[in-house]
Amino acid sequence: MAMTSETDGRDLRLALLEQILNGPGKATRNLRVCAFNNKDVPEPLRDLIGNIVARPPQITDADFGMAGSAGFDDDELVEMVICAAVGEANRQYEARVAALVAAAPEHGSG
Amino acid sequence: MRPAALDHGYGPTTKLIFALIRVLSERARQDAAKMTFYRPDFYGKLAKTFIQDAMRGTSAWSVGDHELIAAYISRVNESRFCVGAHSATTALANKDKERVMSALPDLDNAAIGRSLRQTLRMLGTLTRDGRVRTTGMHLLLGPAFRLSRFSRCSLWPSLSMSPSGFLILGSSIEIWR
């Protein structure tokens, strides 16, 4: 049976989340999860991750400087930026689906 | 002070793609592209497939509509690079640059259909506020519109496409200077 674009997309989204959170990477899994959820982020990364999630145009050199001076290298920072941004995307996606389902239950999780 | 690692480690094909983007976008920086092509096994390979499916997969929306949605959300996200890229694409797809340019700053009076206008409004609210009221969805799903157009499958691309987080990503790295 041919999959719809929706099911393709759902599988792709889950595969992407699995990769960035649990796949091979330089940052620890715990750090990636913290960045993804924007929760319990270590102090040196807090401004950077918080700005990526809520105020991306306000990111400053100081945000990266603080993270770098705490010992995080470029690869780790790239991974955590990706996790933070995709995490926010995922939260927005889930909010849209929840609002759609609440408004029109017939369009629920089928 | 963006990570210097993003300036290295690309093959000839990727460098050629960067050159094309630079020429077509008339922008020297292409951080969103660099992020996608850097260590593609971590993010870019799957992300490109996902975005391609969302933007060009089966949908009731046209290619021009998809790109207009992306441009509009990019504007909400204040991502200049992505606004430029998606505006150019939707202008090409629709052969109507005025439509794009009118929708971005003034959604209420833009020369677009009511259903697309409501969808843009809902997605803009969600992007700004992080949530959308059920009444916002009722506006989309109400009797004024053909429900089939807003089946979950049809809505999928606008639900999942890059505008939300992926353009947050784009706008984040755009200002790493």
The predicted complex's ipTM stands at 0.86
Are A95 and A60 contacting, i.e. CB atoms less than 8 angstroms apart? Answer: no
**Is the pLDDT confidence value at A38 over 90?**
yes
The pTM is what? 0.77
The DSSP secondary-structure symbol of A40 reads S
**Is the pLDDT confidence value at A1 over 50?**
no
Lowest mean pLDDT among A77-91, B13-27, B145-159: B145-159
**Is the pLDDT confidence value at B167 over 50?**
no
Residue B38 and residue B133: Cα distance in Å, rounded?
38
H-helix or E-strand containing A59?
Answer: none
The token pair at A34 is 């913290």
B42, closest residue in chain A (CA to CA):
A20
Name every chain B residue with its beta carbon within 8 A of the beta carbon of A35.
Answer: none
Q: What is the pLDDT of residue B39?
A: 87
Overall average pLDDT of the A29-40 stretch = 96
**Better-predicted residue by pLDDT, B121 or A76:** A76
A16/B47 Cβ within 8 A: yes
B3/A74 Cβ within 8 A: yes
Mean pLDDT for chain B? Answer: 69
Distance from CA of B58 to the nearest CA of A (A): 5
Overall average pLDDT of the A57-64 stretch = 80
Q: How many contacts (CB atoms, under 8 Å) link A and B?
A: 160
Quick: pLDDT tens for B102-155: 888 888 888 888 878 887 887 788 777 766 676 666 666 554 333 333 333 334
- Identify which of B112, B136, B21 has the alpha carbon closest to the alpha carbon of residue B64: B112
Name every chain B residue with its beta carbon within 8 A of the beta carbon of A25.
Answer: 42
**Chain B contact for A92 (CB, 8 A cutoff):** yes
